[in-house]
C-alpha cells in the first residue's frame, strides 16, 4: 500500500510534536490511575478503572496517529506569493466582509483559527488564483485582496 504524504506547515508540525510529547509524558499518570483503581477489587463494576482504561486507549490511539502523521508529513513552505498555494495566507473581500485564511492541509485545518483545508470547497476555489482576482463562490462575489 502506498502512503499518501500529509501536507503540514512547519507550525502545524511543531504543534503535533508538542501534543505527542505531552501525551507520552502523560502515560505514567494514566498507568497510576489504572493501578489505583485496580486496587479496589472487582474490575467489572469499577468505574474508575474503566475510565482510566478508556483514557489510556484514547491516548495510545492518538500517539500512534500523530506518529503516523509525522512519518508521512511533507512540510509546506510558502512560495513566491504570486498565486494561492498551500501555506499561503490570503486576505479576501467576501461580498463586503473581510476575511483572512491560511491554506493548509486537511490535518491541521481549523476554520475557527483561520486555517482552511486545500481540500475544502473554498480552499479548492482559491488554489492557483492571483491577487486582485475575483470569482463567485456560493453565490457571493469574492475578491483576493492580498496573498502573504
Over residues 86-101, the mean pLDDT reads 94
CA-wise closest residue to 48 among 30, 28, 63, 27: 30
Mean pLDDT computed over 113-117: 96
* Sign of the dihedral defined by the CA atoms of residues 99, 100, 103, 106, in that order: negative
**Rounded Cα distance, 79 and 24, in Å:** 35
Look at residue 110 in the predicted model and tell me its pLDDT: 95
- The CA radius of gyration of the chain, in Å to the nearest whole number, is 21
Residue 29 pLDDT greater than 90, yes or no: yes
Whether 77-147 and 6-75 are alike in CATH topology: the answer is no
Q: How confident is residue 117, by pLDDT bands cut at 50, 70 and 90?
A: very high
pLDDT in tens, 56-88: 999 999 999 999 999 999 998 766 678 999 999
pLDDT tens digits along 36-52: 988 877 777 788 999 99
Q: What is the pLDDT of residue 79?
A: 63
Within a 10 A sphere around the Cβ of 40, how many other Cβ atoms? 12
Domain range 77-147, CATH architecture: Roll (3.10)
Query: Over the range 102-141, which residues count as b (16 or more CB within 10 Å of their CB) and which as e?
Result: bbbbebbbeeeeebbbbeeebbeebeebebeeeeeeeeee
6-75 belongs to CATH 1.10.287.180: yes
Mean pLDDT of the chain: 92
pLDDT of residue 78: 67
Q: How far apart (Å, rounded) are the C-alpha atoms in residues 104 and 145?
A: 19
pLDDT at 20: 98
Summarize the confidence of residues 100-107 as an average pLDDT: 94
Domain residue extents for the chain: 6-75, 77-147
Amino acid at each position: 500500500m502506498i502512503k499518501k504524504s500529509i501536507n503540514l506547515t512547519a507550525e502545524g508540525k511543531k504543534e503535533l510534536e508538542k501534543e505527542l510529547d505531552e501525551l507520552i509524558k502523560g502515560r505514567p499518570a494514566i498507568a497510576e490511575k489504572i493501578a489505583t483503581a485496580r486496587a479496589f477489587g472487582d474490575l467489572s463494576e469499577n468505574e474508575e478503572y474503566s475510565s482510566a482504561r478508556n483514557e489510556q486507549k484514547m491516548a495510545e490511539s492518538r500517539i500512534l496517529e500523530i506518529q503516523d502523521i509525522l512519518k508521512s508529513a511533507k512540510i509546506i513552505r510558502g512560495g513566491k506569493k504570486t498565486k494561492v498555494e498551500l501555506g499561503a495566507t490570503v486576505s479576501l473581500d467576501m461580498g463586503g466582509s473581510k476575511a483572512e485564511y491560511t491554506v493548509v492541509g486537511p490535518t491541521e485545518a481549523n476554520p475557527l483559527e483561520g486555517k482552511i483545508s486545500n481540500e475544502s470547497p473554498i480552499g479548492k476555489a482559491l488554489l492557483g488564483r492571483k491577487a486582485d482576482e475575483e470569482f463567485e463562490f456560493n453565490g457571493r462575489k469574492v475578491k483576493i485582496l492580498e496573498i502573504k
